[in-house]
Amino acid sequence: MQSLTPQILNRCTFLLFIAFLSFSLAGQDWKKLPVPVPAGPGQSWKLLKELSDDFNYRGKKKRFRRRWQDTYFNRWNGPGLTQWQGDHSSVEGGNLVIRASRREGTEQVNCGIVTAKAALMYPAYTEARIKVSNLELSSNFWFLSRDSRREIDVLEVYGGAEKGDFARRMSTNFHVFIRSEEKGITSDFNASNHVELPDEAYWREEYHTFGVFWKSPAEVYFYIDGKPLPTGSWAQAEMFDKDYTKTFMDKSAFVMDRPMVMILDTEDHHWRSRQGIIAKDEDLADPSKNKMLVDWVRTYRLVEE
């Protein structure tokens, strides 16, 4: 048999690389889905690869590490009983898997979290296809500025809440935090918008796509399954500090004007666990309930043509 020359080997390697690249591009789960926001005259949507992933691979190896870290972006362990853990996220079966479990000998809950390494800035559209967990914990897709003063929540839902309204009703939220070095948070101005599915369906039953169009500091709009929500935009939000000063925020003074980090996670929240609303041990140990699945996430920046 004739041996292959270095030139032929190099050509074969190149062709294999091209084939792999073509397969990877064709394999993007969202490839045939148009961006639901028209770009407008003289503009187009450019995919931001560093904030997009189809998770069509296995394991948190090089491909994962280029985009993501399996920790929060600072030293915080999480709200309430939450204990974020790097070993509670994985990539398998075409999904980013974020799970939860009970810590031994304590009420605290191990929770998965994945944070993007790159920050997002307007004008941009981003969305993720997610199947939320069937737990009392919250399944979340959200953005936070690195100084923890601006927050956009694209998805927050208690997918397995025993009180059905919480499991059937997800929310989008805005937060503006006022902080001081001495006292920490002194105001949490926030607004929530609740969304229900037709026929009182539970969000946990199917995958849904949750998106946000961050057009400018004072123009933020939410999308679900490719359709704009009629409520919940920044223009409609009445920012009220119910926990600290009991006052409304001056929206001319504070807007969504800072780069933000993308976060996908699950959490226990203070206001629920303090009332005894805690995920059950049997549910936390049940792999059919304790996982939030992210099929893909994609992000586009609006650019001039």
What's the rounded Cα separation, in Å, for the pair 207 and 223? 14
DSSP label at 50?
G
Contact between 291 and 117 (Cβ < 8 Å) = no
Among candidate residues 127, 136, 156, 267, the one labeled active-site is: 156
Query: How far is the C-alpha of 298 from the C-alpha of 270, rounded, in Å?
Result: 31
Residue 224: helix, strand or coil by DSSP? strand
Query: What is the enclosing helix (H) or strand (E) of 261?
Result: strand 260-267
List the catalytic residue out of 151, 162, 200, 267.
151
Q: Give dist(CA 131, CA 13) in Å, integer.
A: 38
Quickly count helices (H) and strands (E) in the chain: 5, 17
Compute the CA torsion angle 298, 299, 303, 305 (nearest 10 deg): 0
Characterize the bridge pairing of strands 219-224 and 227-228. antiparallel
Question: Is residue 282 annotated as part of the catalytic site, yes or no?
Answer: no
In the numeric block, which tokens belong to residue 122? 């307007």
Q: Is residue 266 within 8 Å of 233, Cβ to Cβ?
A: no
DSSP-assigned letters across all residues of 86-148:
GGGEEEETTEEEEEEEEPTTSS-EEE-EEEEEEEE-SSEEEEEEEE--SSSSEEEEEEEETTS
Q: 291: which 2 tokens?
A: 């996982």
Q: For residue 172, give both structure tokens.
A: 């989008």
What is the C-alpha to C-alpha distance for residues 247 and 45, in angstroms, rounded to an integer?
A: 39
The yes-or-no answer on residue 200 being catalytic is no
Q: Which residues are catalytic?
A: 151, 156
